[in-house]
Amino acid sequence: MMIKFQDYNFKGKKAIIRVDFNVPLNAEKQITDDTRIRMALPTIEKILSDGGSVVLMSHLGRPKGGPEEKYSMKPLVPYLTKALGREVKFADDCIGEETLALKNNLKAGEVLLLNNLRFYKEEEKGNKEFAQKLAEGVDVYVNDAFGTAHRAHASTTIIAEFFPNDKMFGFLLANEVESMDKVLKQGEKPITAILGGAKVSSKISVIENLLGKVDNIIIGGGMTYTFIKAMGGKVGNSLVEEDYLETALSVMQAAKEKGVTIYFPSDSLNADKFDNEANTSVSEINNVPEGLMGLDISEKSIALFKEVILKSKTILWNGPMGVFEMSNFAKGTIAIANALVEATENGSFTLVGGGDSVAAINQFNLADKVSYVSTGGGAMLEYIEGKVLPGVAAILD
């Protein structure tokens, strides 16, 4: 039986939480984006308010397998102290005798932050002895790090073995899984997936898995042109993956067989160079002039996509419609974001995930106007590819 975090009484219990505190720090060691920490606070606060104590463990950056001052978690202590309104203790090492003593001395309502898990190669190797050391001195294991749930690391997966009856998702991870299942397993029809971004190659498994689950797929962004070329269109200098032309056609055939409608852009905003200041013009999507490259969708596509989105009850969005990092090629992505906001207002369930669409929706300040914004790029993609995430499986087992 899976234990529900909100139903568990932490009174008198020591809980170790795998959080994702891999936050960006500036040269002064200040946190420049605290989203990941803020999102984990409700999980920490629930345990503390029950009368439990908390040990926090995370990785930060990419240390080379040994301690490195620049990847120390210590600079997070002042932030956490303020956010939680209580003293936060720090263990300079995530395992070892001194750390065990700190764990053993932890009292109800206290918080201990462990230093970077990736100071040990054993973390990413999923080493069992290392996981056991992490598990020492605590009663409960909580996984709240969705961003690493697709990796079978010691702290995300292996450690769960040591808590057969006391392992659970925190609020954040439970929400992530629930939101994805709302689309993939219990989605109200019509269900539409909007897929954009640069490459077909990185989204092909996603498309294939979605074919059995959604009614419509909207394709946008750079990967459009591989499909258009495969269908015999002219794409000029647009991004094309020559190796994927056949795959594109077979995906379209599979969609047809499964009764899934694929919507492609009808027009293309073209540029004479990959530059925000490039000269631009609009063409039919399958008639991009020689020498020009399509960097965004244009008005006709926006109108078409908006219509499909507003008719859908469940919408998943992954990947921008154009090179949104350049303001002159962000219009399509902004329009889709706004259509999602409107759909949400009309009662549809809207899930945005994958690094770049999340960056886009944050950039447009619309993140709190859709139903859910996923925190895990790679993990979310693997989940919608239909893969079992080891970190999720370890709790469900």
Q: Which residues pair with 261 in a beta bridge?
A: 216
Under the criterion CB under 6 A, does residue 233 sit at the interface with ligand AMP? no
The yes-or-no answer on residue 199 being catalytic is yes
Q: Which of 355, 369, 386, 387 is catalytic?
A: 355
Under the criterion CB under 6 A, does residue 222 sit at the interface with ligand AMP? yes
Distances (CA, A) of 196 to 45, 46, 105, 172, 206: 37, 37, 51, 26, 11
Under the criterion CB under 6 A, does residue 197 sit at the interface with ligand AMP? yes
Under the criterion CB under 6 A, does residue 320 sit at the interface with ligand AMP? yes
End-to-end CA distance of the chain: give it in Å, rounded: 9
Here the tokens at position 165 are 């009856």
Least Å from the CB of residue 279 to ligand AMP = 16
Under the criterion CB under 6 A, does residue 187 sit at the interface with ligand AMP? no
Selected from 147, 236, 319, 391, the binder of ligand AMP by CB under 6 A is 319
Q: Which of 109, 378, 386, 387 is catalytic?
A: 378
The yes-or-no answer on residue 36 being catalytic is yes
Least Å from the CB of residue 324 to ligand AMP = 6
d(C-alpha 289, C-alpha 238), whole Å? 10
Selected from 31, 356, 380, 395, the binder of ligand AMP by CB under 6 A is 356
Under the criterion CB under 6 A, does residue 199 sit at the interface with ligand AMP? yes
Considering beta carbons, is residue 81 or 362 the nearer one to ligand AMP?
A: 362
Q: Which of 36, 103, 118, 151 is catalytic?
A: 36
Considering beta carbons, is residue 234 or 313 the nearer one to ligand AMP?
A: 234
Q: Which residues pair with 55 in a beta bridge?
A: 16, 112
Instruction: Tell the burial category of 65 from Cβ atoms under 10 Å away from its Cβ (0-12, 13-18, 19+).
Output: middle
Considering beta carbons, is residue 295 or 335 the nearer one to ligand AMP?
A: 295
Under the criterion CB under 6 A, does residue 126 sit at the interface with ligand AMP? no
Under the criterion CB under 6 A, does residue 353 sit at the interface with ligand AMP? no
d(C-alpha 121, C-alpha 140), whole Å? 24
Under the criterion CB under 6 A, does residue 202 sit at the interface with ligand AMP? yes
Q: Which residues pair with 318 in a beta bridge?
A: 195
Distances (CA, A) of 25 to 58, 63, 72, 76, 113: 15, 14, 11, 9, 17
Under the criterion CB under 6 A, does residue 54 sit at the interface with ligand AMP? no
Under the criterion CB under 6 A, does residue 295 sit at the interface with ligand AMP? yes
The yes-or-no answer on residue 18 being catalytic is no
d(C-alpha 197, C-alpha 192), whole Å? 17
Least Å from the CB of residue 215 to ligand AMP = 22
In this structure, the dihedral spanned by the alpha carbons of residues 167, 170, 176 and 178, taken in order and rounded to 10 degrees, is 70
d(C-alpha 224, C-alpha 232), whole Å? 13
Considering beta carbons, is residue 126 or 354 the nearer one to ligand AMP?
A: 354
Q: Which residues pair with 141 in a beta bridge?
A: 16, 167
Selected from 147, 294, 353, 376, the binder of ligand AMP by CB under 6 A is 294
Please list, residue by residue across 92-115, b when 16 or more beta carbons sit within 10 angstroms of its beta carbon and e when fewer do.
eebbeeebeebbeebeebbbbbbb
Number of residues that bind ligand AMP (CB under 6 A): 16
Considering beta carbons, is residue 159 or 223 the nearer one to ligand AMP?
A: 223
Selected from 210, 230, 323, 340, the binder of ligand AMP by CB under 6 A is 323
Is the peptide bond preceding residue 190 cis, with omega within 30 degrees of 0? yes
CB atoms within 10 A of CB 135: 19
Q: Contact positions toward ligand AMP, by CB under 6 A? A: 197-199, 202, 221-222, 239, 294-295, 319-320, 322-323, 325, 354, 356
Annotated catalytic residues are: 36, 199, 355, 378
